[in-house]
Every structure is written in structure tokens, then in C-alpha cells.
Amino acid sequence: MKITLEELLAFTTVVDSGSITAAAEQLGQTTSGISRALSRLEKKLDTTLMRRTTRRLELTEEGQNFLSHAREIIHSVENAEEQMALRRLIPAGKLRVNAAAPFMEHVIVPLVAGFRQSYPQIELELNTDNLIIDLLEKRTDIAIRIGALRDSTIHARLLGSSRLRILASPEYLARNGTPGSVEALREHCLLGFTQPESLNLWPLRYQQAQHFAITPTISASSGETLRQLALRGEGIVQLADFMTRDDQRAGRLIPLLEQETLDVRQPINAVYYRNTQLAARITCFLDYVSAHIDAQTL
């Protein structure tokens, strides 16, 4: 049978206080409880640690030798508890964050310098993946996902939402003209996603529907790839504001069919498993991102 911390604490407290009664009062236990703990400890060690008389307790030679080991163990536990408490006050340790490459590049990366300045003891590990991942398999603390969530086994914290727009570069429009209607898009080069198909349903009023299903001329799995193609004048694209806001402000990409475009926003969530208790480093990261994401960025 293994020795317990309770038994070690009872033993050292009796030694320090000078009696079982005083130790019981100090630990908030009964004298019989302290006596039983000492008896169990001696039985497990198969030795006598104390000689009990009516007047006092006296350590045996074995008890004297064991006392230093007991104090060292208790001190180690107390030190570990103190370190954990400090980590809660000053978050520290490795934090693994996973996000789609465009969100990582356009939203998270610009926040890293400020976050590191505020929390220098947190070691960030930033990974990108455009697919839904298994958080445990990938050893990920937080995954940031864009769009509707379908997994009910995870916790999610909404960070914001980002509007979808139809965009093209001035160079493309100069060569091919500006579509004057949704139907006119069929005559243009359209840039779309390989998957999921839902991303190729553009938020445009068309006939009786609230979307316009495109057949991409050029397909890509990454939004950033589509953005680069659009910037190079290869076609018309649907992308979220979080990754094209600067392009729109600089005139590199121009919104099209604004009257026909519905105000559709993709939710952006940070997710983690329900059975995972949030460590301080996770909480402070989510708080920092939520506080510093500009609504105009999303």
C-alpha cells in the first residue's frame, strides 16, 4: 500500500506541535483520526516511528530519519501548488492554436506582438489547417473555425463574424467589364472553392432564391489562394471582409453587385473540448483576441 500525503502531514504535524491533540486541532481533525493516520503509516513502513507515553511523544531513530523525507515530500507538493497558483496569476506554458491559414495570417498574426508583450511567459505554437481537425489528435488547445459549428461535444466562444462580399480587381474589370446583374456573372471567370460546396453559394438575390450557385472557372481549397488569384486579375471571387478589408480600402479589390448582395456574415468561433478545463493561458488568449479584434477588421 502506498503512503498518502494525509499520513505524512499527520506525522510531521504531530512532531512539530508536540502532541496528537495539538496536531488534530491544527489540521481540523479528530485525535482518533490523527492516531489512525499514524498507525497506518507505521504499518505501511513496517516500523515504529514514535514511542507514545502518557506525557510525550518521542521519535525513534527510524522516525528521525523518515522525518526529513516526509518534510521534503510535503515541501515539494506545497511548492508545486504554489507554482500552479502563480501560473494562474501569471499565465505561462505552451499554447497551441490552430486556424485556417487566411485567418491566421490576416487576424491572428497581427495580434501576436501585443499578446507576447502582455504575456511573455506563454509560448505560442501557431498551426494552420483548412479542414476540421481532431483537437486531441492534433494536440491543439484552441481551434478557430469560420462558419457554422456542427460538433456538440465542444465548447465554443464566438469571437465575431465577417461579412461576405463579391469582389474583383480593377485590372480584371478593365479587361472584362463590370457585371451589371447576377445573371451576367455567368459570362465571367469565377473563382470558387473545391470544398465545401456551400462556399460556392454566393449571397446574391437571384430570382426567388437568396443565393446564386456558381460553377467555378478556377477552384482552390484555400481562401488565400483565391484572394491572390483575384488580386492578379484572374476572376471574380466571394471572400470575407477579414481577409480583404485592406484590399478594399486600398482599391486593390472592388465590391460588385452591392445592391444584390445580402448581408451574410460567417461566425468565427474559438472551440475546445467540453471536458477540458480552461487553463489561464487559454482564457487570456481568448480574452485578448476578443478585445483586440476590430469590428472593422472582421
What is the full DSSP assignment across 30-76?
-HHHHHHHHHHHHHHHTS--EEE-SS-EEE-HHHHHHHHHHHHHHHH
Total number of domains in the chain: 3
Q: Are residue 71 and residue 126 in the same domain, yes or no?
A: no
Task: For residue 298, tell me if it sits in a domain.
Answer: no
Q: Are residue 170 and residue 236 in the same domain, yes or no?
A: yes
pTM beyond 0.85: the answer is: no
Task: For residue 258, tell me if it sits in a domain.
Answer: yes
Q: In this predicted structure, what is the pLDDT of residue 275?
A: 47
For residues 182 and 210, give the distance between their C-alpha atoms in angstroms, rounded to a whole number: 12
Length of the chain: 298
Residue, of 91 and 200, whose pLDDT is higher? 200
Report pLDDT digits (tens) over 8-25: 999 999 988 888 888 899
Q: Are residue 245 and residue 211 in the same domain, yes or no?
A: yes
Radius of gyration of the chain (CA): 32
Mean pLDDT of the chain: 88
Task: For residue 65, tell me if it sits in a domain.
Answer: yes
**CA–CA distances in Å: residue 133 to residues 69, 160, 167:** 47, 21, 29
Domain containing residue 149: 95-155+274-292
Report pLDDT digits (tens) over 141-197: 898 988 877 765 667 889 989 999 999 999 999 999 999 999 999 999 999 999 888
For residues 29 and 47, give the distance between their C-alpha atoms in angstroms, rounded to a whole number: 24
Q: Are residue 220 and residue 142 in the same domain, yes or no?
A: no
Dihedral (CA of 268, 210, 296, 224) sign? positive
Residue 134 has pLDDT above 60, yes or no: no
Task: For residue 48, tell me if it sits in a domain.
Answer: yes
Let me know the angle formed at the C-alpha of 66 by 60 and 67, rounded to the nearest 5 degrees. Answer: 90
For residues 255 and 237, give the distance between their C-alpha atoms in angstroms, rounded to a whole number: 10
> Where among 59, 89, 119 does a domain terminate?
89
For residues 172 and 236, give the distance between their C-alpha atoms in angstroms, rounded to a whole number: 8
**CA–CA distances in Å: residue 153 to residues 31, 134, 276:** 47, 11, 11
Task: For residue 109, tell me if it sits in a domain.
Answer: yes
